[in-house]
Amino acid sequence: MTALETVIGLEVHVELGTKTKIFCSCAVEFGAPPNSHVCPVCLGSPGALPVLNEQALALGIRAALALNCSVPAQSKFDRKNYFYPDSPKAYQISQYDEPIGQHGFIEIAVGGEKKRIGITRVHLEEDAGKLNHSPYGDVSFVDLNRVGIPLIEIVSEPDIRSAEEARLYLEEIRSIMQYCLVSECRMEEGSLRCDANISLRPVGQREFGTKTEIKNMNSFRNVQRGLEYEQERQTGILARGENIAQQTLRWDEATGTTLVMRSKEDAHDYRYFPDPDLPRIVLSAAYIDARRDEIPELPAQMRERFEREYGLPAYDAGVLTASRGLAEYFDQTAQRVRDPKSASNWIMGELLAYLKAAMLEIDEIHVTPFALADLIRLIEDGTISAKIAKTLLKDMLDSGKDAKTLIAEQGLIQISDEGELRAIALRVLAANPKTVDDYRAGKEKALGSLVGQMMKETRGKANPQIVNRVILELIAGGE
Amino acid sequence: MDFFSSLQELHAGLLKREATASELADLSLQRIASLDDRVHAFLHVSADCVAAAKETETVIGQERILDGIPYALKDNMCTRGIETTCASHILKGYIPPYSATVAERLNDAGAVLMGKLNMDEFAMGSSTENSGFFPTRNPWNLERVPGGSSGGAAAAVAAGMVPFALGSDTGGSIRQPAAFCGVVGLKPSYGLVSRFGLVAFASSLDQIGPLTHTVEDAAIVLQAIAGKDERDSTSANIQAPDYRAALTGDVRGLRIGIASEYFGPSVEIGVRNAVTKAIALLEQLGATVSPISLPHTEYALSAYYLIAPAEASSNLARYDGVRYGVRAVDAGNLLDMYEKTRSTGFGSEVKRRILIGTYALSSGYYDDYYKRAQQVRTLIRQDFLDAFESVDVIVSPTAPTTAFRLGEKVHDPLTMYLSDICTIPVNLAGLPAISVPCGVIDGLPVGLQMIGRMFDEQTLLRVAHAYEQAAGMAPLRPALAMGVKA
């Protein structure tokens, strides 16, 4: 059988981080009591009219520009008509043939190689409500808090070739949106959602195979799992010489399979037409430029700069740019220390472990990049040992005090005075003749024990490099 | 003093304490009580209108002409706490949580809401026979229709139940009933009056306007309701000028255009004569009259009957029984609930238009119908722009006939649609237009339509007012209203 190539395109919905809904002034709040953030406009009360939230437009344009889209001077809103209780007007205000952004792309790193994924379009729309079906199957409860929350839909070109690439693409989209302060992109809260189209074709064939659409993949892991499953399933069907049915599928996390939602014959005719309640969107060049100026340095650029400017390994640059907060934290720390790699080590090691354990975000901790840089500089100039620095950082995180204050309070300045250390070392060697003999007999480990004793004597304040040297010199001299 | 007095006279009466606001509200209630069992203009009479009137009595001031003046609203304008049905069973019992901007503005101006007026269901019709509840009758002849869809509004003003009312006009729904009932009906430029709280029929065509006895009254009411509303994105960002100041009575040098397309064979001879006489009078007053051409007029009706139903099919989709209004009780599942609710809740004309509109927007038909209709709309708008290069106002009959008999056209929708042939192009172009009475034939009033430039209500009102003063016809008082004790 000929080798098959997987072709994937993603439709990603991102909730825009506005305070209020896209066409009314109801608050946007996740987890509020059902139907507590509704008004005549988002309820679709007879006679109520939409008014565009300018912040939603601004964030949408910013997002489109960050995804390298061209933003036309004019676009418009259309109505997408369908009957369902999640849609109180029985139409969704969306954009059909004149979206706010087109012809964009982002880059992902696949196996160390850069790959460009095209973005067909970015359009603005309102979210629908949420239905909660009674477990008894007799009724459904409608919560319209989510109706009218502003969304952008980002439609990719069919440039994605594996489930892993799909996950990488999605992670990059999330990262860009977070960096631009467009959205927090919390998949678990639904502020980032992803549907996928997937098909297979023989390698070398130009035409696409019959595709299926997968919905309900509500985590990064599930996106990859769902696509891997579907790829396997389609491969099996084609291997048996059968045809793929064009269907919309639902990923079922519990069983790890895709289930049929509807087939092609049930496809809606949405009867799109321009929404007569909303004037065309007309943007000046100055307005678009202002949105472009709001875009910060993006994760890809930052990764590159960290490698170039600070000499970080690609792995470190990747970890440190996972969020804009973390990247900026590192950037500010690294600028203030002699060895940026040490800043990377401290942040990726101690700090991230602390954040994970305490379930905190980088901007929620007491230790500023300046304070961390101070701490690292104290190690670099030999004032404290790395070991003490570890303890100190923990104290800093807990107390909010800076390193110098804590050192003064606890008398933790490192002992680097060779004379003083030599005196202590003589005592330690005298008290442990057997260990000294062991070392002389070739047991390397015995040295560690002697250093340990030194540290114990000095409550960890002894400069470890000097201690090592002094002990070796004394042992050698005693022969 | 009765409700054939001008608003200025009523206001003067209140200022001089010849009557109080609550007495005016009482008078309105009496007129409704004595006439409306025959006319059927009202769907709902407000229970607390007299109390509301009493509240205005302390604040009546020189500049606040509408303080304490009773009025009524077509039942497609939302009123907080007062049932709003659009004369449809599907909205029976619906009590809006908010008021339309126009209702708020009139309330702020001190006007007193007497109740809600009958109409063709969801404003779809030209005779008010499509009301889901009952037809309204023409105060000039109870066997005749009042026109539509603002038939209740026109009939209530014509019969002197209220001195003014607000209607809505999507294809002629203020002007045609105004013509049939012998009152003044003004459709403002699209965007001049907020649509917030107007239950949508066809959003790109709907516009609210006043029905009154005189042009000056129309100017007064327009002043109160016009102007930018932040809650309606299609409302124009313009400061309403002083409309009454425009009523100079002087039309010398004004250029009037007559389009042959509006005097086709469907225009009855009596109507044609009345309108011709009116034009002659305007000429005597110093206006110049010249022929113009609006060549795409013949396509207006077709374009309208695609665009309006297309928008309506979407606007009316929300009446699904889920959140408000009537829900079918015996539904087995969701789809069944939708079907039963909408099948029983909507009347046949509304269903017809939803079907036409759904079809026009369907995949594969959109380009041939909806899109083509929008192209025609652009041509019609261009016709008017071209015409207004050489004239200031265009004059025509408002409707080709006088009021027809109840039942005469109700089973023949295409003939019914023709009643709006002179008014529909104006909505497609978004222009302001007014209907003023220009004669009475066989006991039935005839309406004269004047069409103005976009947002040039001042010129339009000036011509209409000058004609009205010279013709000496306003206010027209039907026989029905004469024998009534006030």
pLDDT in tens, B232-254: 999 999 999 999 999 999 999 99
| Bridge partners for A15 per DSSP | A151
Hunting for tokens 């969304």 — which residue is that?
Answer: A151
Please say if the pLDDT value at position A479 is more than 50: no
Residue B351 lies in a domain: no
- Judged on CB neighbours under 10 Å (0-12, 13-18, 19+), B303 is buried
| Bridge partners for B141 per DSSP | B138
Residue B447 lies in a domain: yes
Contacts of A444 (CB under 8 A, 6+ apart): none
pLDDT for B486: 44
Cβ within 8 Å, pair B78-A269? no
Size of interface A-B (CB pairs under 8 A): 100
Cβ within 8 Å, pair A89-B317? yes
Dist CA A170 CA A147 (whole Å): 24
Chain A hits for B233, CB-CB cut-off 8 Å, are 49-52, 277-279
* Amino acid (1-letter code) at residue A402: D
Dist CA A73 CA B346 (whole Å): 42
Nearest of A305, A272, A299, A239 to residue A96 by alpha carbon: A272
pLDDT band at B424 (very low <50, low <70, confident <90, very high): very high
Nearest of B227, B252, B228, B229 to residue B240 by alpha carbon: B227
Chain B hits for A279, CB-CB cut-off 8 Å, are 233-234
Residue B343 lies in a domain: no
Q: Which fold does the domain A418-476 belong to in CATH?
A: Arc Repressor Mutant, subunit A (1.10.10)
Cβ within 8 Å, pair B86-A88? no
Q: Hey, what's the torsion of the CAs at B374, B380, B383, B388, to 10 degrees?
A: -110
The pair of structure tokens assigned to B5 is: 């007095």
The angle that helices A445-457 and A464-477 make with each other, rounded to 10 degrees, is 120
Q: What is the pLDDT of residues A407-444, one digit of tens each?
A: 878 877 778 888 888 888 888 888 888 888 888 888 88
Residue B137 lies in a domain: yes
For a pLDDT cut of 90, what percent of chain B falls above it?
88
Chain B hits for A271, CB-CB cut-off 8 Å, are 313-314, 358, 361-363, 366
- Cis amide prior to B291 (ω within 30 degrees): no
What count of other Cβ atoms lies within 10 Å of the Cβ of residue B438? 27
Residue B366 lies in a domain: no
Residue B207 lies in a domain: yes
Lowest mean pLDDT among A171-180, B55-64, B170-179, B302-311: B55-64
Please say if the pLDDT value at position B311 is more than 90: yes
| Bridge partners for A106 per DSSP | A117
Dist CA A298 CA A220 (whole Å): 21
Buried b (16+ CB within 10 A) or exposed e, B132-150: bbebbbbbbbeebbbbbbb
Q: What is the pLDDT of residues B261-292, one digit of tens each?
A: 999 988 999 999 999 999 999 999 999 999 99
Residue B313 lies in a domain: no
Q: What is the pLDDT of residues B430-464, one digit of tens each?
A: 999 999 999 999 999 999 999 999 999 999 999 99
Query: Range(s) for CATH 1.10.10.410 in chain A?
Result: 418-476
Mutate one of A25, A38, A49, A138 to test the B interface: name it (highest B CB count within 10 A).
Answer: A49
Q: With contact defined as beta carbons under 8 Å apart, do A324 and A330 qualify?
A: no
Please say if the pLDDT value at position B484 is more than 70: no
Cβ within 8 Å, pair B311-A44? no
Residue B463 lies in a domain: yes
A326: enclosing H helix or E strand: helix A324-334
**Facing A49 at nearest CB: one of B86, B196, B322:** B196
Q: What is the pTM of this model?
A: 0.90
Q: Which phi and psi angles does A4 have, rounded to 5°?
A: -105, 145
Using CA coordinates, name the residue in chain B closest to A144. B323
Nearest of B260, B257, B261, B259 to residue B287 by alpha carbon: B257
Task: Please determine, for the modelled complex, whether the ipTM score is greater than 0.85.
Answer: yes
Question: Is A83 in a helix, a strand, or coil?
Answer: coil
Q: With contact defined as beta carbons under 8 Å apart, do A130 and A86 qualify?
A: yes
Q: What is the pLDDT of residues A325-345, one digit of tens each?
A: 999 999 999 999 999 999 999
Contacts of B148 (CB under 8 A, 6+ apart): B119, B120, B125, B126, B127, B128, B129, B130, B173, B176, B177
The pair of structure tokens assigned to B420 is: 């709006």
Chain A hits for B375, CB-CB cut-off 8 Å, are none
Chain B hits for A50, CB-CB cut-off 8 Å, are 233
Nearest of B430, B437, B406, B355 to residue B171 by alpha carbon: B430
Q: Which residues of B are catalytic?
A: 74, 149, 173
A137 at interface of B, judged by CB pairs closer than 8 A? no
Nearest of B144, B107, B140, B115 to residue B41 by alpha carbon: B115
How close A203 gets to chain B, by Cα (Å)? 34
A14 to A253, B40, B252: CA distances (angstroms): 22, 53, 62
The pair of structure tokens assigned to B328 is: 């079918």
Q: With contact defined as beta carbons under 8 Å apart, do B153 and B74 qualify?
A: yes
- Cis amide prior to B22 (ω within 30 degrees): no
Q: What is the pLDDT of residues B49-103, one digit of tens each?
A: 888 888 887 777 778 999 999 999 999 999 999 999 999 999 999 999 999 999 9
Cβ within 8 Å, pair B233-A278? yes
Please say if the pLDDT value at position B483 is more than 70: no
Nearest of A276, A363, A294, A222 to residue A17 by alpha carbon: A294
A181 at interface of B, judged by CB pairs closer than 8 A? no
A81: enclosing H helix or E strand: strand A78-81
Question: Is B170 in a helix, a strand, or coil?
Answer: coil
How close A38 gets to chain B, by Cα (Å)? 12
Contacts of A164-168 spanning 24+ positions with Cβ under 8 A: A164/A110, A164/A224, A165/A8, A165/A108, A165/A110, A165/A115, A165/A117, A166/A8, A166/A10, A166/A196, A166/A223, A166/A224, A166/A227, A167/A220, A167/A223, A167/A224, A168/A108, A168/A109, A168/A110
A450: enclosing H helix or E strand: helix A445-457
Contacts of B28 (CB under 8 A, 6+ apart): B3, B49, B70, B114, B161, B162
pLDDT for B382: 98
A260 to A88, A201, A252, A272: CA distances (angstroms): 26, 22, 10, 26
pLDDT for B103: 98
User: Which of left, alpha, beta for B415 (phi over 0: left; psi -120 to 50: alpha)?
Assistant: alpha
Q: Which residues span the domain enclosing B79?
A: 7-258+386-482
Dist CA A55 CA A452 (whole Å): 61
> What mean pLDDT, rounded, does chain A reach?
92
Hunting for tokens 């054939």 — which residue is that?
Answer: B4
Please say if the pLDDT value at position A405 is more than 90: no
pLDDT band at B425 (very low <50, low <70, confident <90, very high): very high
Dist CA A310 CA A344 (whole Å): 10
Which string of DSSP letters, residue by residue, matches A228-244? HHHHHHHHHHHHTTPPP
Lowest mean pLDDT among A267-276, A386-395, B349-358: A386-395
pLDDT for A478: 61
Q: With contact defined as beta carbons under 8 Å apart, do A289 and A113 qualify?
A: no
Using CA coordinates, name the residue in chain A closest to B332. A138
Dist CA A194 CA A216 (whole Å): 7
Dist CA B191 CA B233 (whole Å): 9
Three-state DSSP string of B199-225? CCCCCCCCEEEEEECCHHHHHHHHHHH
Q: With contact defined as beta carbons under 8 Å apart, do A162 and A141 qualify?
A: no
pLDDT for A1: 58
Q: With contact defined as beta carbons under 8 Å apart, do A434 and A404 qualify?
A: no
Tell me the CB-side half-sphere exposure of residue B218, using CA atoms within 13 A. Answer: 35
Nearest of B136, B129, B135 to residue B155 by alpha carbon: B136
Cβ within 8 Å, pair B96-A46? yes
Q: With contact defined as beta carbons under 8 Å apart, do A53 and A20 qualify?
A: yes
Dist CA A330 CA A332 (whole Å): 5
Q: With contact defined as beta carbons under 8 Å apart, do B44 and B84 qualify?
A: no
